[in-house]
């Protein structure tokens, strides 16, 4: 269970997103994730709790760090499994043609339980969330890469929509396709771990940069007008 619940409480059972801080009684409307940001502090989009003890902050920070490390480890293990799986696919199903385990790249993962649809082959932890390859017995047809992309996009859109609702942005802001698409592409190229822009950045240097760009365009048009 998320340790933040030890210092938080739901306002009522009908609205599970409304969480009350047991230290300062402030109510946040972003679920336990936003409540953790309230308790830890430092998030420019979430008001910090003025009464939270230091040891509580450290406890929650350690919890988030541990979750991040576990997620990184899971991704790494899946990548190692994919290396093994690629080797098996290229070399065929003939067991005699497979190299010794000691020569295969990556390390072997324990077989998944039957609840994850194991077919006897070594599987990674992420196989519980993706359909088996069409060649596997009992597996579902479909491209795992396509399914993975769909899951990742759904998660990204969910997070973006939640941010829109928190910030009170109008729905038609996503219709500004040129600048919005460029923003999405830039974030994707950066990859995991990108820190969001701060209040100071968007209000200060980046605003000045954009004003300078607009002024330059205006000056160019003035030359043509004259």
Dump pLDDT digits (tens) for 154-195. 888 998 999 888 889 899 888 888 888 888 888 888 888 888
**The predicted structure's pLDDT at residue 95:** 47
166 assigned to some structural domain: yes
183 assigned to some structural domain: yes
pLDDT, greater one: 135 or 28: 28
91 assigned to some structural domain: no
Q: Residue 165 belongs to what domain range?
A: 149-194
107 assigned to some structural domain: no
Residue 113 has pLDDT above 70, yes or no: no
pTM over 0.75: no
Residue 8 has pLDDT above 70, yes or no: yes
114 assigned to some structural domain: no
Residue 145 has pLDDT above 60, yes or no: yes
186 and 213: one domain? no
Three-state SS letters, the chain: CCHHHHHEEECCCCCCCCEEECCCCCEECCHHHHHHHHHHCCCCCCCCCCCCCHHHHHHHHHHHHHHHHHHHHHHHHHHHHHHHHHHHHHHCCCHHHCCCHHHCCCCCCCCCCHHHCCCCCCCCHHHHHCCCCCCCCCCCCCCHHHHHHHHHHHHHHHHHHHHHHHHCCCHHHHHCHHHHHHHHHHHHHHCCCCCCCCHHHHHCHHHHHHHHHHHHHHHHHHHHHC
Work out how many domains the chain is built from and give that number. 3
213 and 176: one domain? no
Please say which residue of 28, 51, 80 terminates a domain.
80
Please say which residue of 80, 105, 135 terminates a domain.
80
pLDDT one-digit tens code per residue, 32-84:
889 899 999 888 888 999 999 889 899 999 888 888 888 887 776 776 666 55
């Amino acid at each position: 269970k998320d340790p933040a619940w030890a210092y938080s409480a739901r306002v009522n059972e009908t609205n599970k997103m409304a969480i009350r801080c047991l230290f300062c009684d402030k109510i946040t409307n972003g679920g336990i994730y936003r409540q953790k940001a309230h308790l830890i502090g430092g998030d420019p989009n979430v008001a910090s709790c003025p009464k939270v003890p230091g040891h509580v902050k450290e406890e929650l920070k350690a919890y988030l760090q541990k979750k991040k490390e576990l997620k990184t480890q899971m991704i790494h293990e899946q990548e190692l499994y994919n290396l093994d799986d690629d080797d098996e696919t290229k070399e065929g199903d003939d067991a005699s043609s497979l190299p010794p385990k000691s020569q295969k790249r990556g390390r072997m993962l324990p077989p998944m339980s039957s609840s994850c649809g194991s077919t006897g082959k070594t599987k990674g932890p992420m196989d519980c969330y993706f359909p088996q390859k069409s060649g596997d017995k009992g597996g579902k047809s479909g491209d795992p890469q396509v399914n993975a992309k769909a899951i990742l996009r759904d998660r990204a859109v969910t997070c973006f929509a939640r941010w829109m609702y928190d910030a009170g942005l109008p729905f038609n802001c996503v219709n500004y396709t040129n600048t919005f698409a460029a923003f999405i592409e830039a974030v994707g190229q950066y990859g995991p771990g990108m820190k969001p822009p701060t209040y100071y950045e968007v209000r200060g240097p980046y605003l000045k940069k954009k004003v300078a760009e607009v002024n330059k365009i205006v000056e160019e048009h003035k030359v043509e007008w004259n």
